Structure 1
């Protein structure tokens, strides 16, 4: 049923993944305050702060692809309300994709941080924390789907 609470949570998962694509994920400034490194879902950009010129850009499109796939799976899972076991499986796959995405982001930021300022860690910003919000919403959706499935099975057992 489309009006259940898990629908809201699955929609929020898709919104969270769109936030990952739309907002910066990580930022770091070198010790002399001359360069700013920013990671988005699309690329890792180094900017010269004084002249505001782009020094270097490296494509990190795999982060965006994983976020788009996770948002697509959340929307597809939202439409599979008649098959709760399939819906739970899709949500587990989606959780795995989000964990892989977080791992890739942490690895990317760790290697980028070693280049610009290894003494100080960079700051994770809204794009990074949106993934965790999506993971929590995904887990809550799975919980309520499982609750519905147990309710249906208990009613079938009474008949």
Structure 2
């Protein structure tokens, strides 16, 4: 049924992915604090700190596409409540997409850090932590779907 707790968790996965797309993921200042590099789900921008002007921009749309895919899978999974095994399979694929998204973000931020300011580490900000929220909510949703499936199987065995 659609009013189960896993529906809330899957909705929160979609919300977390929208937050990832909406907020910056990683920030780094150069050694003399005059320039700043910001990674969002859409691009990797180099900004002038004083004027806030974009000096350079690299397209990183693959991060946003994976986040949108994860949000779409979560919403689609909500409406697959009649087929719990399919719902668990969709959530497994969503978990893989979330892990790949996280790995791409870490790889992108690490390689940008090596070019921009290798002496100091950048800072992960709100968009990065939204992914972890989405991962946790996805795991909780899968747990409760599995719990429902086991309950239905035990009731069928009694008949």
Rounded Cα–Cα distance in structure 1 between residues aligned with 2:71 and 2:5: 18
Rounded Cα–Cα distance in structure 1 between residues aligned with 2:103 and 2:140: 22
SS of the residue 1:24 aligns to? coil
Q: What is the CA distance between 1:52 and its match in structure 2?
A: 2.4
Q: What is the CA distance between 1:69 and its match in structure 2?
A: 0.4
**Paired residue for 1:98?**
98
SS of the residue 1:80 aligns to? coil
Summarize the alignment of residues 54-65 of structure 1 with structure 2, pairs less than 5 Å apart: 54-65=54-65
SS of the residue 1:37 aligns to? strand
Output the aligned Cα RMSD. Answer: 0.6
SS of the residue 1:127 aligns to? helix
| Runs of at least 5 residues in structure 1 that lack an aligned partner in the other structure | none
Deviations 1:1-25 (A, max 9, x none): 0110000000000000000100000
Q: What is the CA distance between 1:53 and its match in structure 2?
A: 1.9
SS of the residue 2:17 aligns to? helix
**Paired residue for 1:32?**
32
**Paired residue for 2:12?**
12
SS of the residue 2:47 aligns to? strand
**Paired residue for 2:66?**
66
User: Would you say how many aligned residue pairs link Structure 1 and Structure 2?
Assistant: 159
Summarize the alignment of residues 1-159 of structure 1 with structure 2, pairs less than 5 Å apart: 1-159=1-159
Please give the TM-score of this superposition, normalised by the length of structure 1: 0.99
SS of the residue 2:32 aligns to? coil
Rounded Cα–Cα distance in structure 1 between residues aligned with 2:115 and 2:36: 12
